[in-house]
Amino acid sequence: MSEQFKEPKPASPVQPVSLGLDDRFRFRCHQGIACFNKCCENTDILLTPYDLLRLKNRLDVTSRDFLDKYTRDCELDGHGMPGLKLGHRPGSAACVFLTPQGCGVYTDRPAACRYYALGLMSIRKKGSPTDEDSYFVVKEPHCLGHGEPQEQTIREYRAEQGVHKYDGINREWRQIVLKKRSSGPTVGRPSQRSFELFFLASYDLDGFRAFVASEGFHGMFDVPDEEYRKLLTDEELLLQFALRYLKQALYGEQSIPLRSGVAEARRKRNAERLAARAQLSDEERARVRDEMYEALLDEDKSGGRAE
């Protein structure tokens, strides 16, 4: 046997026991603990859309400024799907928001920070309309919280950490990411523009609001006036709408009605395409959808805003 196979593998910090909401685990984190801040000195935190909404509002900056100053780019899959991680302090792997007194954005910290030292896994069983969540304890050597005497249920820990609201919005986004990841060769490699759209709707909420306010968007989608007004003023609603829009643009899930003229023009175009090609492949169908939404993004970039 060669030397490399004799090397012991580093043990995973994830404990191999799946826990439910009423299972108990032992853990407590507090300012007086000897490892205080250790976990934030070496971070690799993936950000979700709701994390970004909370953090940019906490700092009172635009989405773009937040992205530029406080995030790092990453890929969510092997095909260029854009992701964002929390930034580091210059010259270190410490979180950009770490202070000697602890987390500088504590009440708006990301979902991943709230969950630590738990891991969450969501699985949708075949034929089930909903995901089932399982939890795992993550025990890293530097974290002394596992030696504290406090015990609680997963349910109690989740409530204390305030993850409920984060989960509600992020779950839908995770499903979009998973679907994109697992779509594989049936829809071909996603176009660069579909990634731009994903980035805009997921991470640049101010940019997405301007897009929704544009004449191009207003002329294409039939959103009732009252809902439309709310979208432009309520960011949580806007983010939920952005995810709906992504599902429609990327996967053809029709939940935002097109204006009647637009719908007819699309039907006519599609009929012509279908007549030209007896049967579109999945890849071609995805490309046709991409083209429609890419054209809309181009209109938005070229100017026009609604009053």
Smallest distance from ligand SF4 to CB 238, Å: 23
| Candidate residues 56, 109, 209, 289; the one interacting with ligand SF4 per rule CB under 6 A | 109
Smallest distance from ligand SF4 to CB 252, Å: 37
- The answer to whether residue 97 forms part of the interface with ligand SF4 (CB under 6 A) is yes
- Based on CB atoms, which residue is closest to ligand SF4, 157 or 217? 157
Q: Which stretch binds ligand SF4 (CB under 6 A): 102-110, 265-273, 275-283, 298-306?
A: 102-110
Smallest distance from ligand SF4 to CB 60, Å: 17
- Based on CB atoms, which residue is closest to ligand SF4, 103 or 163? 103
Size of interface with ligand SF4, in residues (CB under 6 A) = 24
Smallest distance from ligand SF4 to CB 199, Å: 22
- The answer to whether residue 76 forms part of the interface with ligand SF4 (CB under 6 A) is no
Q: Which of 98, 96, 77, 100 is nearest to 85 (CA)?
A: 96
Q: Which of 298, 302, 176, 165 is nearest to 249 (CA)?
A: 176
**Hey, what amino acid is at 25?**
F
How many CB atoms are closer than 10 A to CB 12? 10
- The answer to whether residue 69 forms part of the interface with ligand SF4 (CB under 6 A) is no
Q: Is the dihedral of CA 215, 261, 227, 254 positive or negative?
A: negative
- 8 Å CB contact between 237 and 203: no
Smallest distance from ligand SF4 to CB 140, Å: 7
For ligand SF4, the binding residues in 18-57 under the rule CB under 6 A are 29, 33, 35-40, 43, 45
Q: Which stretch binds ligand SF4 (CB under 6 A): 105-113, 118-126, 179-187, 253-261?
A: 105-113
Q: Which of 53, 57, 45 is nearest to 240 (CA)?
A: 53
Smallest distance from ligand SF4 to CB 90, Å: 15
In angstroms, how far is the first alpha carbon of the chain from the final one? 72
Q: Which stretch binds ligand SF4 (CB under 6 A): 95-103, 152-160, 211-219, 299-307?
A: 95-103
- Interface characters, 120-159, with ligand SF4 (x: CB under 6 A): ----------------------xxxx--------------
Smallest distance from ligand SF4 to CB 148, Å: 8
- Based on CB atoms, which residue is closest to ligand SF4, 116 or 135? 116
Smallest distance from ligand SF4 to CB 33, Å: 5
- The answer to whether residue 84 forms part of the interface with ligand SF4 (CB under 6 A) is no
Q: Which residues bind ligand SF4 (CB under 6 A)?
A: 29, 33, 35-40, 43, 45, 95, 97-98, 103, 105, 109-110, 113, 116-117, 142-145
